[in-house]
């Protein structure tokens, strides 16, 4: 009998701190220019849904930045990220696309925006049963989390990677697999995982 098991490869590119918008002065309550290396036609589509970072050259701790785009389920989304003082401010929401970043206030110096290291990769956006996982480690240990429905949904499984570059892990999955009624997402830090192959029935 033919197998119904399918696979998907998850690989996230290295974070790019100015991939959305390169360092430039931004006017009071104005938009950043979306023209970094990840941009195409004034917007960004990430390789995998991930968080957004804002780097301020001056003290922007008294203002904020509003990021507009779509989330890991392709629904419209915004996030307000508080500015940092000569440092990087890190968003917590997952964006599949970014179409606008607006300064809410008057930035003190140059501002750039890019992709962060937090990733929420879709495995299958429908009813699915997780059957197996094949992970390739990096030199940094981390936690891989399998969630139902979204990048912040209920946790169905977790496992820890090891700090040993290019080694592999093939964690055991129960014989009947793990059911995700509303689709499955895997969340992780990009620095802790080289690649992940997910085997599933959908």
> What's residue 2's pLDDT?
43
> What's residue 4's pLDDT?
87
Same-domain status, 154 and 128: yes
> In 3D, which of 179, 176, 156, 183 has the Cα closest to residue 74?
183
Mean pLDDT by 10 residues, the chain (202 residues): 80 96 97 98 97 98 98 97 98 98 98 98 95 96 97 96 96 92 97 96 92
Place of tokens 């040993």: 164
Helix (H) or strand (E) holding 91: none
Same-domain status, 88 and 132: no
For residue 70, tell me if it sits in a domain.
Answer: yes
Same-domain status, 31 and 111: yes
Same-domain status, 100 and 132: no
Cα atoms found within 13 Å of the Cα of residue 66, Cβ hemisphere only: 10
Could you give the CA distance from residue 181 to residue 160 in angstroms, rounded to a whole number?
A: 24
User: What count of residues does the chain have?
Assistant: 202
> What's residue 175's pLDDT?
86
For residue 72, tell me if it sits in a domain.
Answer: yes
Q: 95, 49 in Cβ contact below 8 A?
A: yes
Give the list of residues 6+ apart from residue 185 with CB closer than 8 angstroms, or none.
Answer: 72, 120, 121, 122, 123, 146, 147, 148, 149, 150, 151, 153
For residue 49, tell me if it sits in a domain.
Answer: yes
Same-domain status, 141 and 102: no
For residue 7, tell me if it sits in a domain.
Answer: no
Residue that finishes a domain, picked among 59, 86, 116:
116
Q: Which domain holds residue 46?
A: 21-116
Pull the structure tokens for residue 140: 């940094």
Question: Exposed, middle or buried, 116 (CB in 10 Å: 0-12/13-18/19+)?
Answer: buried
Residue that finishes a domain, picked among 116, 146, 173:
116
The number of distinct structural domains making up the chain is: 2
Same-domain status, 99 and 167: no
For residue 166, tell me if it sits in a domain.
Answer: yes
For residue 13, tell me if it sits in a domain.
Answer: no
Same-domain status, 166 and 128: yes
For residue 138, tell me if it sits in a domain.
Answer: yes
Same-domain status, 184 and 170: yes
Residue that finishes a domain, picked among 116, 147, 170:
116
Could you give the CA distance from residue 192 to residue 161 in angstroms, rounded to a whole number?
A: 7
For residue 169, tell me if it sits in a domain.
Answer: yes
Could you give the CA distance from residue 120 to residue 56 in angstroms, rounded to a whole number?
A: 25
């Amino acid at each position: 009998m033919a197998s119904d098991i399918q696979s998907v490869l998850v690989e996230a590119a290295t974070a790019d701190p100015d991939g959305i918008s390169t360092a430039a002065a931004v006017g009071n309550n104005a938009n950043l220019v979306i023209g970094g290396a990840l941009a195409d036609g004034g917007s960004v589509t990430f390789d995998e849904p991930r968080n957004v970072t804002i780097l301020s050259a001056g003290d922007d701790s008294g203002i904020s930045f509003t990021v507009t785009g779509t989330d890991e389920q392709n629904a419209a989304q915004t996030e307000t990220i508080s500015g940092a003082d000569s440092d990087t401010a890190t968003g917590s929401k997952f964006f599949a696309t970014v179409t606008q970043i607006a300064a809410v206030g008057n930035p003190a110096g140059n501002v750039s925006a890019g992709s962060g290291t937090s990733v929420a990769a879709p495995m299958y956006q429908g009813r699915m049963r997780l059957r197996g996982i094949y992970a390739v480690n990096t030199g940094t240990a981390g936690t891989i989390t399998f969630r139902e429905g979204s990048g912040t949904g209920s946790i169905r499984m977790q496992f820890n990677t090891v700090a040993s570059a290019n080694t592999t892990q093939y964690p055991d999955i129960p014989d009947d697999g793990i059911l995700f009624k509303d689709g499955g997402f895997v969340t992780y830090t990009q620095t802790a995982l080289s690649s992940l192959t997910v085997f599933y029935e959908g």
